[in-house]
């Protein structure tokens, strides 16, 4: 890996939720700003608006633009980088979105594998190369076959890594072998896209994470990544083992970001609202989240109700 790529993307990045008003009709930009300030206070390197955790498919074009513009305007003065979601399953549209986020001042774009279409590896190669050819900021590949229906092969990643504008990959395919092969065969900076696997991915060459857990515990995520990147895997493991139950629960109790938003509501950090077709967390999920938050020691801002009390009073939407 080149020193530039490693330095540019090393660190903890949080996959931001998109906060909604209590009725879900509008984006709460004030809550988004507060969440970014919370991320900066926890030592997060960067934030990722309009990704999977941000419920991007449910945003209007105007909302998506407002989220990215607000994120850039809030994060950049704090020294927090912005990797803006700009992916689409139509190549021409992805190029358009790439141009937009560049104009908004993003540091890099996150380009997801095209979803629903299920293109061949050659189709994926041509899609990402076309985006990279048009790009003026770094492109981060996003491999998440559980969402997109098809994933990148290592051979295709190696081919794409030859493009100077493609400089990193977010790996959310659950394969440690994939991470090891990519690290050995090309110079892309590797970012974990799966919190429970971040530590083993770092041991194989990953330099950072795009984290769901970071929305709740940015300092823990930042400290774990920093420890791993300086080679102190013993210290990283201590944090990993402590937060692992919560990190796993956020991704397994229901579809992301349903558990995350429920937990944030319990901590007084979000309305907890998700947009259809997602449904609010069930009582059983919320009860389990209370246990996990208490076990890990995650707390809300001063003055917020404790998680147990909120869990007992919150009604299903």
Give catalytic residues, as residue numbers: 142, 170
Dist CA 290 CA 231 (whole Å): 33
Cα angle value 304/309/311 (rounded, 5°) = 105
Length of the chain (residues)? 317
Across 88-118, b (16+ Cβ under 10 Å) vs e yields bbebeebbebbbbbbebbbbbbbbbbbbeee
Dist CA 140 CA 128 (whole Å): 10
Please give the sequence-ordered ranges of beta strands (E in DSSP) within the chain, or none if there are none.
Answer: 11-15, 46-48, 81-85, 108-112, 139-143, 166-171, 189-192, 208-211
Residue among 157, 84, 163, 146 at smallest CA distance from 124: 157
């Amino acid at each position: 890996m080149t020193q530039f790529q490693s330095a540019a993307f090393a660190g903890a990045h949080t996959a931001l939720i998109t906060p909604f008003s209590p009725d879900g009709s509008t984006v709460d930009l004030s809550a988004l700003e507060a969440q970014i300030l919370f991320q900066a206070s926890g030592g997060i390197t960067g934030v990722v608006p309009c990704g999977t955790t941000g419920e991007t498919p449910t945003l209007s074009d105007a909302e998506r633009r407002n989220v990215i513009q607000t994120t850039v305007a809030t994060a950049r003065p704090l020294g927090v980088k912005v990797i803006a979601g700009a992916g689409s399953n139509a190549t021409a549209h992805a190029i358009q979105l790439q141009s937009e986020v560049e104009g908004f001042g993003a540091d890099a774009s996150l380009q997801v594998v095209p979803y629903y279409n299920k293109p061949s590896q050659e189709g994926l190669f041509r899609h990402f190369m076309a985006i990279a050819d048009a790009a003026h900021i770094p492109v981060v590949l996003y491999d998440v076959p559980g969402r997109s229906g098809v994933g990148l092969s290592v051979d295709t990643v190696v081919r794409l890594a030859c493009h100077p504008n493609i400089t990193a990959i977010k790996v959310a395919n659950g394969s440690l072998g994939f991470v090891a092969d990519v690290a050995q065969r090309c110079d892309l900076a590797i970012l974990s896209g799966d919190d429970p696997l971040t530590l083993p991915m770092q041991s194989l060459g990953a330099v950072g994470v795009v984290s769901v857990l970071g929305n709740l515990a940015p300092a823990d995520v930042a400290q774990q990544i920093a420890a791993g990147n300086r080679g102190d895997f013993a210290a990283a493991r201590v944090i990993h083992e402590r937060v692992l139950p919560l990190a796993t629960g956020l991704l397994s109790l229901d579809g992301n970001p349903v558990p995350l938003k429920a937990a944030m509501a319990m901590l007084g950090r979000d309305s907890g609202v998700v947009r259809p077709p997602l449904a609010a967390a069930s009582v059983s999920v919320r009860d389990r989240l209370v246990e996990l938050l208490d076990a890990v020691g995650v707390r809300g801002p001063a003055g917020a109700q404790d998680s147990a009390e909120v869990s007992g009073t919150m009604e299903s939407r």
